[in-house]
């Protein structure tokens, strides 16, 4: 791989760690409406002392401080380094996929890198808020949903395939993004409506519907449908896990943070859509065919 390509990937990972640090601030402050996400500076939730810059280095500070506040030794949540590490890893993979060609050369597609990096950060923030508070904030779902079609106009690589259908590529990308929003929101609305008929209780929240609509605006309709499928699959596995844990803790209704699994599905399509497409359209059919052949 070209040295400049390696430099770009490493820089992207470092940027991701810093953005992850900011994501932690958003995860805590976004659902608490009275708090600004820029001020005041980060402080210990226990002793309220301001955290010094050298104690605020992503992942590293948590390890060096052994997960405790320097002043009062109160335990710092492991969520902080986890969010930073995940965001850093996502930026690393997005840079690898979109800033480096197949044969290892650097390609300056910064527009698409920026869109996907911001999108991935939004997924991380929304997922962790969903896990801790069971909400998906409108700032991310509705904000992203309204921004997506306009971002599609600005960045030609987003929905680039749309121009195959219409002669005006700008209008095509805009329309493609809007169609993705409708398919994303609509498909989950349908799943929720069926769930209501089947289980006779609320299966899907509006937050989830708005969230998949936003994902549809960025990924486009076909990737979004596969993302929903991956979310249902991983969510079912996660749900069984939650039930086992809850059973040990005692009674009470277990809640599955579906926003987290929608994010898993979206990331799978962002980074590995070729693999999942190959699996569903080549590997899986060939397994079924060979099973059929064995049965005869
Ligand atoms: Zn403290």
pLDDT digits (tens, 9 = 90+) for 271-280: 988 887 788 7
How close is the Cα of 25 to the center of ligand 1, in Å? 16
> Secondary structure of the chain in the HEC alphabet?
CCHHHHHHHHHHHHHHHHHHHHHHHHHHHCCCCCCCCCCCCCECCCCCCECCHHHCCCCHHHHHCCCECCCCCCECCCHHHHHHHHHHHHHHHHHHHHCECCCCCECCCHHHHHHHHHHHHHHHHHHHHHHHHCCCCHHHHHHHHHHHHHHHHHCCCCCHHHHHCCCCHHHHHHHHHHHHHHHHHHHHHHHHHHHHHHHCCCCCCHHHHHHHHHHHHHHCHHHHHHHHHHHHHHHHHHHHHHHHHHHHHCCCCCCCCHHHHHHHHHHHHHHHHHHHHHHHHHHHHHHHHHHHHHHC
* 109, pLDDT greater than 80: yes
How close is the Cα of 55 to the center of ligand 1, in Å? 12
Task: Work out the pLDDT band at 195, boundaries 50, 70, 90.
Answer: confident
In this prediction the pTM is 0.90
* 45, pLDDT greater than 80: yes
Lowest model confidence (mean pLDDT) among 85-99, 138-152, 179-193, 252-266: 252-266
Q: What whole-number percentage of the chain has pLDDT above 90?
A: 63
How close is the Cα of 81 to the center of ligand 1, in Å? 17
How close is the Cα of 48 to the center of ligand 1, in Å? 6
Task: Work out the pLDDT band at 253, boundaries 50, 70, 90.
Answer: low
Task: Work out the pLDDT band at 185, boundaries 50, 70, 90.
Answer: very high
How close is the Cα of 53 to the center of ligand 1, in Å? 15
* 161, pLDDT greater than 80: no
């Amino acid at each position: 791989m070209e040295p400049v390509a390696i430099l770009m990937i490493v820089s992207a990972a470092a940027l991701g760690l810093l953005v992850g640090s900011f994501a932690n601030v958003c995860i805590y402050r976004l659902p608490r409406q009275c708090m600004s996400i820029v001020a005041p500076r980060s402080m210990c939730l226990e002793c309220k002392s301001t955290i010094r810059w050298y104690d605020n280095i992503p992942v590293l500070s948590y390890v060096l401080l052994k997960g405790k506040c320097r002043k009062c030794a109160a335990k710092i949540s492991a969520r902080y380094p986890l969010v930073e590490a995940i965001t850093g890893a996502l930026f690393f993979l997005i840079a690898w996929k979109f800033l480096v060609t197949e044969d290892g050369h650097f390609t300056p597609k910064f527009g698409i890198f920026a869109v996907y990096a911001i999108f991935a950060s939004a997924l991380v923030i929304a997922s962790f808020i969903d896990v801790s508070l069971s909400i998906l904030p409108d700032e991310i779902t509705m904000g992203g949903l309204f921004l997506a079609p306009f971002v599609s106009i600005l960045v030609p690589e987003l929905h680039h395939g749309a121009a195959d259908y219409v002669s005006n590529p700008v209008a095509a990308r805009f329309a493609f993004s809007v169609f993705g929003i409708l398919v994303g929101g609509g498909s989950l609305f349908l799943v929720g409506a069926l769930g209501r008929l089947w289980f006779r209780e609320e299966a899907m929240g509006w937050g989830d519907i708005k969230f998949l609509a936003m994902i549809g605006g960025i990924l486009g309709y076909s990737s979004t449908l596969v993302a929903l499928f991956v979310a249902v699959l991983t969510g079912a596995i996660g749900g069984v896990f939650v039930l086992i844990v809850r059973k040990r803790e005692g009674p009470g209704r277990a809640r599955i943070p579906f926003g987290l699994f929608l994010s898993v599905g979206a990331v799978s399509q962002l980074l590995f859509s070729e693999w999942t497409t190959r699996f569903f359209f080549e590997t899986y059919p060939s397994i079924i065919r060979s099973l059929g052949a064995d049965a005869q």
